[in-house]
Amino acid sequence: MADEYGEHREVAERNLRILEALLFASAEPLSAAQMAPYLGEGADAAALLAELEQRYASRGVNLVRRGDKWAFRTAEDLGFLLRREEEENRPLSRAALETLAIIAYHQPTTRAEIEEVRGVATGKGTLDLLMEAGWVRMRGRRRTPGRPVTYGTTDAFLDHFGLESLSDLPGLEELKGSGLLSNRLPPDMQIPLPFDGPLREDEDPLDPDDTGGQDVDDEA
């Protein structure tokens, strides 16, 4: 019995080392399904990831979940040590921040719906900028006249803002307090439950000629 248990742990430890290697080598978060083929036959990738998460919980780097994917990230309490090494990025404009917030909370949403909430037109470059940053993606096309494109957030959005899932998004008052939403937005603005899963019944797949780098929304 002891020999059997020892053999089981040896296999488990090897699989844990494989997961570590894959996660450290990857520039992007990985899902359990992506890593499972590298493990031994019958290995439970989800259980192994949970064990690895516990092992790194008190270390300088933590294993964190971003949507259905996993990645190693600097422990939150040590983040200040690396800030001076970070490349200074151009801050997003107020319009881009508001657009990103509305997409995050109202997804799937169209450009016209974003403009209705903001009360002003959304420039063509704003959505392009957010898609180039990898935070926003085109989901599909709404089953309404004109078949406007619907937008949603990405796993990269969750990763950048340190969110495990959309349910971790802050409340409306926190959002306003952080400056992400301006006072120009309606005071009675309601935040629905965001949806980032498969296409809904009111969405069709994107057309073959749709591309991520173009504004293809047909709404007036």
Q: Domains (ranges, CATH) in the chain?
A: 2-83 (1.10.10.10), 94-204 (1.10.10.10)
CA distance 74 to 80: 10
Tell me the pLDDT tens digit for each residue of 86-108. 444 557 788 888 899 889 888 89
**pTM surpassing 0.85?**
no
Residues across the chain: 220
Contacts of 181 (CB under 8 A, 6+ apart): 98, 101, 172, 175
Sign (positive or negative) of CA dihedral 129, 130, 134, 136: negative
Contacts of 73 (CB under 8 A, 6+ apart): 61, 62, 64, 159, 162
- Compute the C-alpha angle 61/65/68, nearest 5°: 150
Q: Do 56 and 62 form a contact (C-beta atoms < 8 A)?
A: yes
pLDDT for position 1: 55
CA distance 184 to 195: 25
In angstroms, the first-to-last Cα distance of the chain is 71
CA distance 148 to 158: 25
Task: Print pLDDT tens along the chain (220 aa).
Answer: 556 666 777 888 999 999 999 999 888 899 999 999 999 888 999 999 999 999 999 998 899 998 889 999 888 777 665 554 444 455 778 888 889 988 988 889 999 999 888 888 887 789 999 999 899 999 999 988 989 999 999 988 888 888 888 888 876 666 656 555 555 555 555 555 677 777 888 888 888 877 544 444 544 3
pLDDT for position 177: 61
Cis peptide before 170 (omega within 30 of 0): no
DSSP conformation letters of 107-138: -SB-HHHHHHHHSSPPPHHHHHHHHHTTSEEE
> Which residue has 């493990």 as its token pair?
39
Contacts of 193 (CB under 8 A, 6+ apart): none
pLDDT for position 12: 87
SS3 state at 166: helix
Reading the block at residue 191, the tokens are 């935040």
Tell me the pLDDT tens digit for each residue of 43-53. 999 999 999 99
CA distance 132 to 171: 26
pLDDT for position 87: 46
